[in-house]
Structure 1
Amino acid sequence: MKMWTLMAAAALTLSACGGADEKREPTAKAAPAGEQLVLASNLLADTKTVAGEITTRDQSQARARISGVLVVLSVREGDMVSRGQQIGRVVDDRIGFETRAYGAQVAAAEAEATRARADLGRIQDLYDHNVYAKARLDQAVAASRAADAQTAAARAERGASASMAGQGAILAPAAGRVLKVEVTAGSVVSPGMSVATITAGPPVLRLELPESLAGRVKPGARVLLTADDLPVEARQGQVTQVYPAIVGGRIQIDAAVPGLTTELVGRRVAASIEIGQRQALTVPRRFVTTRYGLDYVEVISPDRKPSAVPVQTAPTNDPETVEILSGVKAGDRLVATRTQG
């Protein structure tokens, strides 16, 4: 009897335990805390890294207008000049000799004109007293007029010679900075010879691209400077001109970047330029962490478990966004491991 009582009690206990297990519900897994993002393909500006040079839109040449010796040169590389400023002077001694010779001719012509006018006065008086005929008076008038014309011609030749000496002044053709001085004081120069190169126009970033990209770059496309040591206000500009000529399989493009000055003319820099758009996976930078030189993102699995996945990233034109090249795919759910600071 006692044995049956113990067996009944054990059966009731097992029945009660089984009922409790059947009523117990599975606990739901909590979602990871933090901002979440579902990866999707977006349009991203396609860029090309190219070499560029800081220059000016135009460069003018200060040239000698006469031959002679450059006796004065008052500028050096880096000096600022204004339009029409005299920066040098060329002297040709032959011009001085010619000017003095023309001056002597002027004096002789003036003396001849004075004599002709005196003769005309005497002949006019004799004609008035019926001593000379009208033909003699006409001859004297013609001689006086010819002497006056010779005097005017001699004066014109002397003035031309004197103005030629004034052509020895070398003037700056535009306002800007002197980039290069071609010759030194004391050198012999010829007409048309460049003495100095001067910037003209605003500073621009001149880029060279392969001719295969000629149709993909348009005015207004964004340009981003990648050098970190440039003292400029902004590192982003836009294309202002695409030159139509192709030289050596390359095209030239000018871009305006705020803060460029003529102090940096000739410097070579690296830049990236937009050449179109493409589909890419982009995420805010706060979703990516870097550990030991490797980039990771936290991916949430279907069972809500986060796992660190190594990815390969690339920068974009937006410093707060990166492109993911490999490691994850569109549709994956990410969680931010750090807050946006």
Structure 2
Amino acid sequence: MRLTIAGPIIALMLGSVAAFAETVTVEAVPITEWKAVYGRIEARDRIPARARLGGTLVSLKVAEGDLVAQGDVLAEVVDEKLGFRLSALDAQAGALGSQLVNAETELKRGEELLAQGVTTAQRLDALRTQVDVVKGQLAAVAAERQVVEQQAAEGVVLAPVAGRVLDVPVAQGAVVMPGEPVAQLGGGGIFLRLAVPERHAAELNEGDAIEIEGAAGAVAGRLVKVYPLIENGRVVADVEVADLSDRFVDARVLVRLPVGEREALLVPETALVTRGGLDFVGIEGAGLRTVVPGARVVVDGAAMVEVLTGLKAGDAVLAVAPEAGEVGHE
């Protein structure tokens, strides 16, 4: 059985509803045009922790995903040749020490002989020079030993920044060369990096609000950097998001960018009523009118719906649609 209500009755009922319902005058308002792109969660600084010494990796203290502080020991590299060099320098220092003792003894004897008038001052000067030479050789050996000790100390690989370990490309027991990365660290904070088609470059401005689609819903962000270099037809931009998780670096996230504005006719979401698969709004003094709704937007905290067809600027729309029992249609 179909319920049919004549047009005058519909108008009469809507008129009684309109007497108690608030009306909204439809006007063309500017709305933001959004572009959906994918962004990547990246660390602000990606710095490799490199080995300063070539040798064997005898200790590896970190794995992918570990959190480290700046200066933490990540690994240790040992060059066995440095131990042999230290032993050789110690032996050389011992021999020079013996020579120094002998030279100082000769110098003391020469001073006694000069006091007795047995030797010459020239001979005494030669003995003093010999003592100074041996002392200089000992100092050189000590300095060289410090250099070798410093080289051995550089076998300890330290974390250059605080952050998360992203990659460990080596294994314990491997042979590494000077400058070879032992671990890749991500630090300096986490942000979103976007690659936007260059046709939208002119619409991107630092400070623009960005919407990020997350598991818990949309999250607000801010465009903090637009890079001037266009690569492969795309503009690179950075987005700052509060409390962005760094659990997965390089993860892709759906982002909506403001790329322009256009005018649209908006009505409150409560003004729409759907019956028989069609969408209607109530017009003050004119009954129901069929419309084609578009996207839903939020304006100043109010849920609004864009109307593509069926309304024009200046129409007075009922802010709350009539109930299903108030109005019928054939």
Normalising by the residue count of structure 2, what TM-score does the alignment of the two structures yield? 0.85
Preserved contact between residue 40 and residue 330 of structure 1 (Cα < 8 Å) = yes
The answer for the alignment partner of 1:8 in structure 2 is none
Preserved contact between residue 30 and residue 264 of structure 2 (Cα < 8 Å) = yes
| Distance in 2 between residues matched to 1:325 and 1:30, nearest whole Å | 25
| Distance in 2 between residues matched to 1:172 and 1:290, nearest whole Å | 62
User: What does 1:81-120 correspond to in 2, within 5 Å?
Assistant: 81-120=68-107
Identity of aligned residues (%): 35
| Distance in 2 between residues matched to 1:204 and 1:264, nearest whole Å | 12
> Of 280, 289, 311, which residue of structure 1 is paired with 2:292?
311
Preserved contact between residue 314 and residue 325 of structure 1 (Cα < 8 Å) = no
Normalising by the residue count of structure 1, what TM-score does the alignment of the two structures yield? 0.83
Structure (1 or 2) with the larger CA radius of gyration:
1
The answer for the alignment partner of 1:331 in structure 2 is 314
> Of 231, 251, 265, which residue of structure 2 is paired with 1:281?
265
1:264 equivalent to 2:264? Answer: no
Instruction: Tell me whether 144-153 or 55-64 shows the greater mean CA deviation.
Output: 55-64
- Residue 165 of structure 1 deviates from its aligned partner by 0.9
The answer for the alignment partner of 1:5 in structure 2 is none
Distance 1:191 1:297, change over 3 A: farther
- Residue 287 of structure 1 deviates from its aligned partner by 2.5
Distance 1:28 1:185, change over 3 A: closer
Deviations 1:13-65 (A, max 9, x none): xxxxxxxxxxxxxx998353323212111122222111101112111111111
Structure 1, unpaired ranges of 5+:
1-26
| Distance in 2 between residues matched to 1:177 and 1:198, nearest whole Å | 6
| Distance in 2 between residues matched to 1:178 and 1:290, nearest whole Å | 54
- Residue 321 of structure 1 deviates from its aligned partner by 3.0
Distance 1:162 1:285, change over 3 A: same
Structure 2, unpaired ranges of 5+:
1-11, 323-330
Letter aligned with residue 108 of structure 1 = A
Secondary structure, counterpart of 1:214 in structure 2: helix
The answer for the alignment partner of 1:149 in structure 2 is 136
Letter aligned with residue 300 of structure 1 = I
Distance 1:324 1:179, change over 3 A: farther
| Distance in 2 between residues matched to 1:226 and 1:189, nearest whole Å | 43
> Of 6, 17, 20, which residue of structure 2 is paired with 1:32?
17
Deviations 1:260-295 (A, max 9, x none): 021132210111112233322233332334568x67
- Residue 117 of structure 1 deviates from its aligned partner by 1.5
Secondary structure, counterpart of 2:43 in structure 1: strand
| Distance in 2 between residues matched to 1:317 and 1:94, nearest whole Å | 71
| Distance in 2 between residues matched to 1:29 and 1:119, nearest whole Å | 126
- Residue 95 of structure 1 deviates from its aligned partner by 1.6
CA-atom RMSD, angstroms? Answer: 2.4
Preserved contact between residue 291 and residue 308 of structure 2 (Cα < 8 Å) = no
Letter aligned with residue 142 of structure 2 = R
Q: Which has the higher strand share?
A: 2
Determine which structure has greater relative contact order: mean sequence separation of CA pairs < 8 Å that are 6+ residues apart, divided by chain length.
2
